[in-house]
Structure 1
Amino acid sequence: MLKNILYAVLLGVGMAACLSQQDNPDDETAGEPEEFILPETTEDATALSDSTLFLVAEQRVGNTRIGMPIARMRQQVSGGLRLTDTTLNLEGAPSTAYVLRPEKEAKGLLIEQSCDGECKVWRISVLSPKYKTAKDIRVGTTYGELQQVYKIRAVTFEEGNVVAQAPDAGMSFMLDHSSLPAEELSRLNAATAPKNLPIERILVY
């Protein structure tokens, strides 16, 4: 099971890397994004300030849940948030995904879908420190702080990424390892990973 979780994490990393290439205007798979923005109202502004909207939890982030129909996700975008369609490339095949972020902010959530008849939310990548867990873990939190509040089953280095796995919480945490010598990466595990490594992405599945 741990192997399957790791495969899912690394698959998402590759898909997210494809997303970063969408900024290239020469990318043939990148089209003009379709945006869904609800009008701002007093009620919407209140909803946006609600801390639960930015809560990262098992199988959900805010009011976006794993397994939720994509049509429903579109309908419940709160005022002050922007939902943009994007295209990821998975092994050469295009796949639709969604970027949900607060207006005027560069980062938010990357929402991936699976379609077997009806398209549903499959996995969510948290890229912004605005979102946090009930235990105050967010992008930028150190590995040492993460260890204190979540059980880390494994830390692995695969395909250029260091991933701390917390399957009991339904999350994995990608760590920024740019400060580490290359020769140390293959020897990392949950006990030896430096405690000062910051989280750069949270995967919810």
Structure 2
Amino acid sequence: MLKNIFYAVLLGIGMAACLSQQDEDTETSNEASTQETSLEMPEEASTAAPELFNIAQGRVGAVTIGMPLEELQSNIPAGMALTDTTLLQEGMQSTAYLLRPEGQLKGLLIEQQCMNACQVWRIAVSNPDFKTAKGIAVGSKYSELQQAYAVEQITFEEGNLVALTSEQGISFMLDKSQIPANQLPRLNKENVPANTLIKTILVY
């Protein structure tokens, strides 16, 4: 089981890195285009239904793993916006989709897998409005994750610090920016600093 989880996490590393870069590029572009009128543009309050923000095994809101992309594109929930984007993984470009609350920059990065038809393969959550049933979200502390779920292992792969828990099909990528680089190789589930924040939640 852990091997399958590791595989999913490793495959998600490049996607999450692209998501992070895309967020930075989007925010930089937005700042440049609005700097003449305002130093800051606050995100709008979401009008989407509360159930659309639930993270669970195999789904985030109305988006489920294995859902046909055609179904996703033709049934965009009220208060949400869907746009396509391009990811670069292992030197190959692939199409993904960003589903986010209207008026907000961050949401869900939905990656597809195409055989005979394209389906939802993996979902990366970057918006803190989305929460698990136990209240864990992007921006939650590692100590809060420990209280909510049994952390089984900490992995450090390709620049990303990842917490694997008892919640199958969900992994939590941690923000390591405040942790000294020389401490990273020695981290385990017992000694990750309690105030380390979750930066992305992967559902696969």
TM-score, with structure 1 as normaliser: 0.83
How large is the Cα RMSD of the aligned pairs? 1.8
CA distance in 1, matches of 2:162, 2:20: 19
Cα distance, 1:167 vs. partner?
Answer: 5.1
Describe the SS at the equivalent of 2:156. strand
What's the counterpart of residue 16 of structure 1? Answer: 16
What's the counterpart of residue 119 of structure 1? Answer: 118
Change (3 A) 1:2 1:180: same
Maintained 8 Å contact 2:136/2:145: yes
Residue identity matched to 1:9? V
Maintained 8 Å contact 2:156/2:185: yes
Describe the SS at the equivalent of 1:168. coil
Cα distance, 1:18 vs. partner?
Answer: 3.1
Cα distance, 1:140 vs. partner?
Answer: 0.5
CA distance in 2, matches of 1:4, 1:170: 9
What's the counterpart of residue 141 of structure 1? Answer: 140
Cα distance, 1:19 vs. partner?
Answer: 4.6
Residue identity matched to 2:160? N
Maintained 8 Å contact 1:150/1:169: no
Describe the SS at the equivalent of 2:73. helix
Maintained 8 Å contact 1:19/1:86: no
Maintained 8 Å contact 1:16/1:88: no
What's the counterpart of residue 67 of structure 1? Answer: 66
Does the alignment pair 1:51 with 2:50? yes
Residue identity matched to 1:54? F
1:93-140 deviations in whole A, cap 9, x for unaligned? 111110000111110000001111111000100000010011110011
CA distance in 1, matches of 2:105, 2:137: 16
Change (3 A) 1:68 1:91: same
Does the alignment pair 1:110 with 2:109? yes
TM-score, with structure 2 as normaliser: 0.84
Q: Unaligned stretches of 5+ in structure 2?
A: 27-45
Residue identity matched to 2:177? S
CA distance in 1, matches of 2:16, 2:190: 28
Maintained 8 Å contact 2:48/2:79: no
CA distance in 2, matches of 1:174, 1:180: 14
Describe the SS at the equivalent of 1:185. helix
What's the counterpart of residue 156 of structure 1? Answer: 155
Kindly tell me the number of residue pairs found equivalent between the two proteins.
Answer: 183
What's the counterpart of residue 177 of structure 1? Answer: 176
CA distance in 2, matches of 1:21, 1:185: 22
1:35-91 deviations in whole A, cap 9, x for unaligned? xxxxxxxxxxxx954321110000100010001101011122112211001111111
What's the counterpart of residue 189 of structure 2? Answer: 190
CA distance in 2, matches of 1:151, 1:199: 15
Question: Which shows bigger deviation, 115-124 or 73-82?
Answer: 73-82
Describe the SS at the equivalent of 1:193. coil
Q: Unaligned stretches of 5+ in structure 1?
A: 25-46
Change (3 A) 1:177 1:20: closer
CA distance in 2, matches of 1:135, 1:186: 29
Cα distance, 1:15 vs. partner?
Answer: 2.2
CA distance in 1, matches of 2:15, 2:65: 17
